[in-house]
Amino acid sequence: MSRDMLIALGGGVLSGLISLAFVAGIPGAMLAVYLTPLPLLMIGLGMGLRFETVAGLAGVVTAGVAGGPFSGLLYALIYGLPVWLVVRLALTRHQVSDGSGGTTEQWTPTGTILGMLAIMAAALFALAYVLALSQEGGLQGMIYAILERVFTLLMPGLQDGERVRILQSMAALFPGYLGMSWVVMTIINASIALTVLHKMKAPVRPRSGLSDLVLPDRISIYFIAAATLALVGNLLGLGEIAYIGRNMAMLVGLPFFFLGLAVVHNIARMAPYPGIMLIVFYLVLLLSGWVALIVIAAGLIEQWAGIRRHFKAPGSGSVS
């Protein structure tokens, strides 16, 4: 067996074990679980799709053997398949026109990969919703029951009325928040993998700055459809329709948040001290949810009207 194959197998086994760290009750397990895709991405982006496939299968088998068949299935759906698709897209180059009658090779845009992850998160939500139809209250009822047990254990002194209000609010948006965190952590892990591989001088695709992010047009259609579904459900009092549309809109709307950040980064390039401006902006973003909504709105406007070109500052590309 070749050295590269052993590395791929070892990385897959490591990823599979990391995915079960929370179940095993290991200290710092939640942070470790967030890094589950990292070994797969390192192997895939650094060694190629064939070795990533081996690593992914090794991770599925490891999770299945150590945690049971259901753990193996979850690993395949949440980590194995998505990372395989990310690597496949990330390593693909297309022939595009260079504007002078010739062609040049172009890597798959980062925005396309981000859009694919958002759509996959929406698909996983749809799958979970269908599978939970046989449960009392469906997916929302199942999430409510799980959260209720957690709250009862962690905050037994909470008043019943207050607990019900909090649980209803959380259960209504929980799939959306969970899917968004999954997409964000996958992107962060991919960025870490690329950074490490570049430091190691590995032959990988070039990194692209956030300020250059471009989304595929079709993601707008999905977002409009989901938002319309949520609006119609609310207006007609159709709770389940509104629930589906609301969470779908959160998931397929996430790329517009990143696109809005791209607009902010382009505006920062025009400032005398772009780094300081971005630090202040991100601090405010962490403290206020309203700022996040404004960023999403900026992303939507950018997608439809192209406002970013008005904030280009030639020669000040220090902020990516």
pLDDT at 65 > cutoff 90? yes
Q: How confident is the model at residue 161 (pLDDT cuts 50, 70, 90)?
A: confident
Give the 3-state secondary structure of residue 105: strand
Ramachandran assignment for 219, one of left (phi > 0), alpha (psi -120 to 50 degrees), beta (any other): alpha
Q: Is residue 119 part of a domain?
A: no
In angstroms, the Cα distances linking 227 to 47, 61, 119, 230, 241 are 40, 39, 14, 5, 11
pLDDT digits (tens, 9 = 90+) for 3-38: 889 999 999 999 999 988 876 666 666 778 889 999
Q: What average pLDDT does the segment 299-313 reach? A: 80
Domain enclosing residue 53, as ranges: 1-92
pLDDT digits (tens, 9 = 90+) for 74-124: 999 999 999 999 999 999 988 776 667 667 778 889 999 999 999 999 999
pTM of the model: 0.85
More confident residue, 257 or 270: 257
Above pLDDT 70, what percent of the chain?
Answer: 93
Q: Is residue 195 part of a domain?
A: no
Q: How many domains does the chain have?
A: 1
Q: Is residue 80 part of a domain?
A: yes
Q: What average pLDDT does the segment 287-292 reach? A: 85
Q: Is residue 110 part of a domain?
A: no
Separation of alpha carbons 189 and 38, rounded Å: 5
In angstroms, the Cα distances linking 280 to 264, 287, 294 are 12, 11, 16
Other CB atoms closer than 10 Å to residue 264's CB: what's the count? 23
Which residues are paired to 104 by β-bridges? 96
